[in-house]
Structure 1
């Protein structure tokens, strides 16, 4: 996981640099006889970058680099749990020749300095990745014009998801099981893209559930320093407490199939957990858990699958396992998520290949690693010269 995190950080740096080469001369506009018109992009100003713990290098480096390559200066406030990786990134950027004052490292508790940074009249934009609760708070606070502020702040927000892997009755069932398991338990489930809901056609529900349980039982849990470990601990005590509480809720709402045990004596370890027979409106199917827990829900037909897939407040990622072309075409129109995958898991977007960002309460659909992401950090200026 750390190797992939590092590789993605490199991809962001490479991709955004090449994108800025394309954007630096602006975009073509029409000119008339006796008149020359230009359309160029200029930086916004000072931005606040608030990055999460779960991709402590990739998202932090990507969001900071996008702002910087577009010509802005930034205050980088990494997650409380992962400040050291951000500090090393700042050192590397300085070593690479970034001028002083462009990338400013501001570690600290969000509750202590977050509001100050967001509210400050000199802040021009905020780029945030994290929880829905904090993202909504930032969006609201940034909307207020402070004394001395002469612009409307721009907010780029990626706020999480409740993502669904949908399995049709004619799907490859081994692929379906592995797609569910690896989408649910990668990064110990601490991904906004994690597949925390499996909606399976009733004709194949029992088989897919059985295969997913068997595969989950093969996953190794332990020290992340051991290359043979599949799953390490969750990030901290607060997450541990929240996830174990949801497992208890899950035991009430459905049937515990595997996992369900937790131990915080030597680290915050929670077994990969599958809860079956969960109602589509249950808390386990609606609320973001951000841990290694997946709920299985049975669906009678494809119409019902699409209805359940869209029944949350979020719209980040989703996957459909199907070999029916009409169902795939319908899902392209009806499955309302920013990143939709067919016949694979719902995590693992690659920079430049699958621009990443979602709808509804998943944020502002700001597609990181995509062709229009840098424009969010720029403002357009038109100049018209009469000859």
Structure 2
């Protein structure tokens, strides 16, 4: 029997450890890296209570050290998708009926495990498997994932508290139900936190989940699953499978119990999902929830009053942290003519100090891009600049995949603000800047707003308040996360809920209540204490 209303106050954001020389966290992380590299692991799929091994295995290789093998994961096929759905649906009734405090404590315990026992391991998995340096892994796989788990418990508690008013003689209440069916979570390679949040946020609301991570993120995904299981997550609530996208879609999107998809990935894939779901609407018990965060072509706009050093740092960090493989990464910059030469000079100088190499060398700011396909795509953009009079490389441009998929931080200057690298998503360490007439600020706002179909993040740097206000208004729909005098990356859970519009997704704001509403279905219940016993209203009486 539930004899209390349990309170989950707003948490504080998880402190970011700095991994300075001599610090205990640095020693623990170095130890975890060495430990993980010494052994090859055999990663099963997690379907219900079973650890499924198919024998069809793919290797996991660090992008920065492609000749080393961290282990292998077992690849599934369509039948494993069906098995995962069946396992989820079997678990659904018990899970959705479990008391909120019991569900909440599973995820709070998972957060605590990540903050303590598993912190060096989740970071080391992310560093080795996804080629992130220590700091980028810390803010992602430790801090952000911990924050997602803790803040979502708080947000969901606040949602459950929202109740209607009641008139005399009756009582109204709202039940925040889980969706009817299962949720598909499709997660990307670039953020371990996203990989953990997409399935867990839906599950926290009482839903059951089929989780398909990117193949290049399985190494850290399996660690997340191990943490969830140790925290007490019942079998079948989240089912982790490694099956190709088309096979997952064929099974899930044709299933009558499909209730929704929680997705982060490319715009093209999301568009195809939406079309397929739409065509299959008659199959489903209800209208599925479709939540997606997709691409970006994120901008940095400098006004003629911008602080040069702040601008250069925003560009360096915003464009080249994690090799530009963030949906929010600065990809196009608009620099006013009055400060352009100073900005270029200082930006080039900063980039030349950036070391590139293995994640195990903590002095490296830049590591490898995720895989050969990504490497070849980015290199193609760089190679196409040769002989092109419309643009030139200011710094970087060298690419080498002998030992790992290394691409130098590259800055391109484009004469045309609609040059191809100003418009298309590259998803790598490539920043294109355009110098505009410092006295034509309002005109460049129009260019920024109309250049890209995406609208994820953007930044304006200025010391002129009127210029900031003008940009905020003119670029209102150009970015779902808008930054003033800062880089366009680094959203923090509870502080800057994340998501964009236009071709960047449904803007359902991970890290806020907005996202959780999508995984709930309200039922209003009215109870009348003294029901009427006659159909006649007073107005029917004779005068």
Correspondences of 1:71-82 after superposition (within 5 Å): 71-82=206-217
User: 357, 361, 367: which one pairs with 2:503?
Assistant: 361
| TM-superposed deviation, 1:205 | 1.6
Counterpart check, 1:36 vs 2:171: yes
Give the SS at the match of 1:119: coil
Deviations 1:37-83 (A, max 9, x none): 2223111141000000001x200111122111111110110001111
Matched residues in 2 for 1:250 and 1:163: separation?
Answer: 21
Partner of 1:348: 490
Matched residues in 2 for 1:68 and 1:121: separation?
Answer: 19
Matched residues in 2 for 1:119 and 1:260: separation?
Answer: 45
Matched residues in 2 for 1:148 and 1:376: separation?
Answer: 21
Say if 1:61 and 1:89, in contact at 8 Å, map to a contact too: yes
Give the SS at the match of 2:215: coil
Matched residues in 2 for 1:303 and 1:115: separation?
Answer: 48
Give the SS at the match of 1:281: coil
Matched residues in 2 for 1:278 and 1:194: separation?
Answer: 22
Change (3 A) 1:150 1:159: same
Matched residues in 1 for 2:330 and 2:289: separation?
Answer: 30
User: 372, 380, 384: which one pairs with 2:522?
Assistant: 380
Larger radius of gyration: 2
| TM-superposed deviation, 1:137 | 1.0
Give the SS at the match of 1:124: strand
Matched residues in 2 for 1:216 and 1:278: separation?
Answer: 21
Matched residues in 1 for 2:315 and 2:254: separation?
Answer: 41
Counterpart check, 1:304 vs 2:443: yes
| TM-superposed deviation, 1:374 | 0.7
> For structure 2, which runs of at least 5 residues remain unmatched after alignment?
1-135, 530-543
Partner of 1:324: 464
What value does the CA root-mean-square deviation take over the aligned residues?
Answer: 1.4
Counterpart check, 1:17 vs 2:153: yes
Change (3 A) 1:250 1:175: farther
Say if 2:186 and 2:212, in contact at 8 Å, map to a contact too: yes
Correspondences of 1:1-387 after superposition (within 5 Å): 1-5=136-140, 6-25=142-161, 27-44=162-179, 45-55=181-191, 57-145=192-280, 148-251=283-386, 252=388, 253-300=390-437, 301-311=440-450, 312-335=452-475, 336-387=478-529
- Stretch of structure 1 that moved more, 366-375 or 303-312: 303-312
| TM-superposed deviation, 1:146 | 5.5
Give the SS at the match of 2:173: strand
What is the TM-score of this pair, normalised by structure 2? 0.69
Give the SS at the match of 1:288: coil
Matched residues in 2 for 1:3 and 1:108: separation?
Answer: 28
Matched residues in 2 for 1:330 and 1:381: separation?
Answer: 43
Say if 1:35 and 1:385, in contact at 8 Å, map to a contact too: yes
**Larger relative CO (CA 8 A, sep 6+): 1 or 2?**
1
| TM-superposed deviation, 1:34 | 2.7
Matched residues in 2 for 1:87 and 1:35: separation?
Answer: 50
Give the SS at the match of 1:82: helix
Deviations 1:261-281 (A, max 9, x none): 100110110010000134122
Say if 1:189 and 1:293, in contact at 8 Å, map to a contact too: yes
Matched residues in 2 for 1:226 and 1:116: separation?
Answer: 43
Between the two proteins, the alignment pairs up a number of residues equal to: 385
